[in-house]
Amino acid sequence: MARFWVCVAGAGFFLAFLVLHSRFCGSPVLRNFTFAVSWRTEKILYRLDVGWPKHPEYFTGTTFCVAVDSLNGLVYIGQRGDNIPKILVFTEDGYFLRAWNYTVDTPHGIFAASTLYEQSVWITDVGSDFMILWLHGENGTGPAKFNIPHSVTLDSAGRVWVADRGNKRIQVFDKDTGEWLGAWNNCFTEEGPSSVRFTPDGKYLIVAQLNLSRLSVVAAPPVGSIGECSVISTIQLADQVLPHLLEVDRKTGAVYVAEIGAKQVQKYVPLNSYVPSFGS
């Protein structure tokens, strides 16, 4: 028994030594220890896949949107510009497959909805004579009113999450009835959300903020409650990168970000190693 308490005291002394050594000498040992603690708290972290895509020279316009067909391993990218292909198709590994420039004028959003029997890609084209209507669409600042509704996603509980960019909030609705369930605005005092997507496990939302050039990981609320927005971690991109819309691969969890300032799409992959926060 005495030996046990001696071991406990020794361990405590060792940790105290590490704290003091890190405080005054910048020891990397404690930094590794803190990483392990952060990993235990299940903070989601990503790293930039610098090798994606293999041929970035195909980005010849302003990249406005991106969608992932996880079933077929394809990434669709919409770009704007004159005399350029408007839709680019890459593999998830970053190899260019094809492009097209017909039927699309000015792409704004893109969504892949493939099944085992059919490949389907939906594109919102602000240059075409189509109008997209939703259950709520009145301009304003109150509940169920919008100022530049910029992105929509659905969770497994049947809630619709709308990035209400101009009002600096995310609004939530019931997908069947359209009932307003609540809103988040405490996380977006500086800049409204331009894009919102869920991670494959549904535990977190990835949110882009255009003019801040920032991505945030936000904890998803439990079913039956909206609560307050809680940021888990962030990725601070370079100035003027301007992340417009993003997509999450439903199989791998990789995040693809269409950046209208940098005129490129970048890929972030989840880390299994324990790193305390984005960008560290």
Work out the pLDDT band at 187, boundaries 50, 70, 90. Answer: very high
3-class SS string, 226-275:
CCCCCEEEEEECCCCCCEEEEEECCCCCCEEEEECCCCEEEEEEECCCCC
Strand order in the sheet with 204-209: 195-198, 204-209, 214-219, 231-236
107 token code pair = 């792409």
The string of pLDDT tens digits covering residues 62-78 is 999 999 999 999 999 99
**Parallel/antiparallel/unpaired status of strands 264-270 and 46-48:** antiparallel
Q: In terms of pLDDT, which residue wins out, 110 or 57?
A: 57
Cα separation, 210 vs 152, in Å, equals 16
User: Mean pLDDT across the chain, nearest whole number?
Assistant: 81
For the stretch 121-163, pLDDT in tens is 777 766 655 444 345 667 899 999 999 989 999 999 999 999 9
Q: If one looks up domain 44-125+144-267 in CATH, what number appears?
A: 2.130.10.10
pLDDT for position 137: 62
- The pLDDT-based confidence of 111 (bands split at 50, 70, 90) is confident
| Domain definitions of the chain by residue range | 44-125+144-267
State the pLDDT at residue 131: 46
Residue 167 in this model has a pLDDT that exceeds 90:
yes
The pLDDT of residue 278 is 40
| Chain segment 33-55, per-residue pLDDT in tens | 322 223 333 465 899 999 999 99
Instruction: Place 79 in a pLDDT band, splitting at 50, 70 and 90.
Output: very high
Percent of the residues in the chain that have a pLDDT greater than 70, as a whole number: 76
pTM (2 decimals)? 0.74
- Given pLDDT bands bounded at 50, 70 and 90, which one contains residue 260? very high
